[in-house]
Every structure is written in structure tokens, then in C-alpha cells.
Amino acid sequence: MDAISIKSLVFASSNAGKCLEVKKYAAPLGIEVIGLADIASGIEGPVPEVKEIGAHYEANAVLKARAYAGWSGRACVADDTGIEIEALQGLPGLHSARWGIGRVAGELGVVFKGRAAFVCCMAYAEPNGRVVSVTSRVGGTLILDPTVEAAAVKSLQFSQFFMPDGYTENLEDLTRRGVFVSHRIRSLQALLTSLR
């Protein structure tokens, strides 16, 4: 399959922020990104809930991509992502969503500056069983400040406190401005290249 012939992709995520980021990146390439909610009404049965039980990012991304490709009958892309913090010996990693920024602040303190990396595996699966996956890393600095004390009542994201190498803004602000340097977009770029 030639990547430039891809006109649409089903991005298998219920995370609105992830979907929006991928849609914004793909639109100028002429690729329509379709969310699970967009196709669910035309498919019998509920959207499957896929448990992320894999031992690494790739295993979880492939689990999700295969499950949604089988359910929808369409090629699907899914990702698994985590942040690895040097001061925590690579944690929280796979468990980033369960930890949240509040727990990290509890471990490191609400005033902290140190090396970290966002890791993302993006997997593409077709209903016929074909799977392609790529993993990318974006290094940078995690900078915590007293705003993380609000994490118990606010939905704060790691990307709000992560400054990618070479930039003076956090990843959230860069993405909002349309500067596509995130781990997710880097993996998507590599995936599209590998599908050529």
C-alpha cells in the first residue's frame, strides 16, 4: 500500500484530544481521520473495550488496532503512549495514565525539573491480519511547579509540563499552535512512511 493513496484512517481511540491532534496533522496531507464514534453507528454491537494487558507499548497498540480492525472491518490505527522519567528510573511508562501527574508530583515534589521522554507506539492493523507498528521517542524536560497541586481536581496532562528538546514551550502549547513535534505525530509520520 502506498501511503499517499491513503485517503482515510480510523484512529482507534476514544480520547478526544488524541483524535483532534491526529486529525489536525493529517488534514493538510489529504487524509481524513475517522474516530471510533464516527463509525460506531453503522456497526452492529457496541464498541469493544480493549484491556491494555501487554508488557510493552507495541503489544498494547497492536492489541487495540487488531481488535478495532476486526470489529469495524476496516484498517485501524491505535497507539499506546507513556512518559518515562529518568529520576523515577523510567516510570511511570506503560502506567502513565494510571499514575497521572498528581502521583508523579507526589514522588518527585511539586517543584521539579529533570529529563524525561514521551514514548509512543503506533500500530496499523487490517481485518485480514496485516499489522505494521513503529515506536518513537521524544526527549525533553519535565518541569513541575505548584500548579500540579490542583491535579486532584483538574484534569492536568503530562504534556502541560513537558518541554521537548529544542523548544521553549510545553508540548501542549506547541500542539495547540499546530507545531507537530509530539511522540504521537512522530510515530504516525514513521508509520505512514513504512506503509509505502
- Cβ neighbourhood burial of 70 (10 Å; 0-12, 13-18, 19+): middle
Sorted by sequence, the CB contacts under 8 Å of residue 78 that are 6+ apart come out as 11, 12, 13, 61, 62, 64, 65, 68, 122, 123, 125
Instruction: Please confirm, yes or no, whether 80 is among the known catalytic residues.
Output: yes
Distance CA 44, CA 63 (A): 21
Catalytic member of 2, 80, 145, 173 = 80
User: What are φ and ψ of residue 8, in 5° steps?
Assistant: -150, 150
Q: Are 164 and 128 in contact (CB under 8 A)?
A: no
Please list the active-site residues.
80
